[in-house]
Every structure is written in C-alpha cells, then in structure tokens.
Amino acid sequence: MLKSVFIAIPKKSNTLDCENHRTISLMAHTLKLFLKIILRRIRRKIIPQIPTDQYGFMPDRGTRNVIFVLLMLCERSIEHQQEVFLCFIDHQKAFDKVHHSQLLTILKRIGIDGKDFRIIHNLYYKQKAAIKLSEGLTEWTDIKQGVRQGCVMSPDLFNLYRVAARRWRHM
C-alpha cells in the first residue's frame, strides 16, 4: 500500500524529451477503496476550510461554474462598456510542491487526529515509488514531497494545503 509504480505516457508521439511525458501512478484497487473511506471521514473537516470561490477539485463545483461566472462577467462588462482583464495561471507541477510536514501540521490544526491522521502520516512519510521502463522497474525511492499521484485524497489535500498554507503563513 505504500508503493506506487509510475508509467510515463508521451504527450506527443515519438518524443524522447522527459518534459513531453505525463506520468501516471498505478495503485492497488484496495488502497484506492481504503483511501475513499478515509476521505469521506476527513472531508467534513476539510471542506469548510476551502473558500466557496475555489472550483477546482471540489464536489458540485467545476469548470462549468467558472465558465458561467466568466461569461456573466463579460456580458455585464459589455453592457456597462467596461474592459475586462483576465489572467490565467498554470501552476505547473503544483501537486509536487506540497511539503509533507506542513500538510500534516495543517491536518492537525483542522482537527484530523487519531487513526485517520496516522494513516495519512504513514502514507506520506513511508511512501516509495519506482518507474516502469521497458527493461523493468527502477529501484524503489522515497518520495519526499508532493501529494500522492493517483490518490483519491490528493485533490482535497492539495486544496487544503494551498489555502491553509497561505492563510497561516504568518501565524
């Protein structure tokens, strides 16, 4: 349950450049089911921490909602002859930037404790990964930061980390 195998899938055909590959993680189905149960238990403490204007990775919110809001904003700006300026930011590799110790501190602060906290702690501090190559698997290596690839909890943990790290940075 603590090991993941990464597979590189090319974004473009016949490419040898690593930047042109997307990695996906293979995890055991039993682990995914187990993590869904944990997520259901901790989500009621995570969701209240996330602002309502956060649409990515949120239940009952998504890109359709944002597109609708943007469309309404543009229509109103046309009616009132006002300019609209947009800025789109690509947080490339953002999931990989999550520091485990900070994430665990945030989870404790919002009241995740006991078995759920120990499970998440062990999943992050003891996780290992290997990359599947045509010759076989690479050596197993420790993962030092980032939310787990392919984990059902990763989007929620990332949203919590992003919001809470900014909110509590100066505390």
> Which parts of the chain sit beneath pLDDT 70?
91-92, 168-171
pLDDT at 169: 61
For residue 146, give both structure tokens: 């980032």
Global pTM reads 0.77
pLDDT at 151: 84
pLDDT at 53: 79
pLDDT at 168: 66
Please state, in angstroms and as integers, the Cα–Cα distance from residue 94 to each residue in 5, 91, 114, 162, following that order: 20, 5, 28, 9
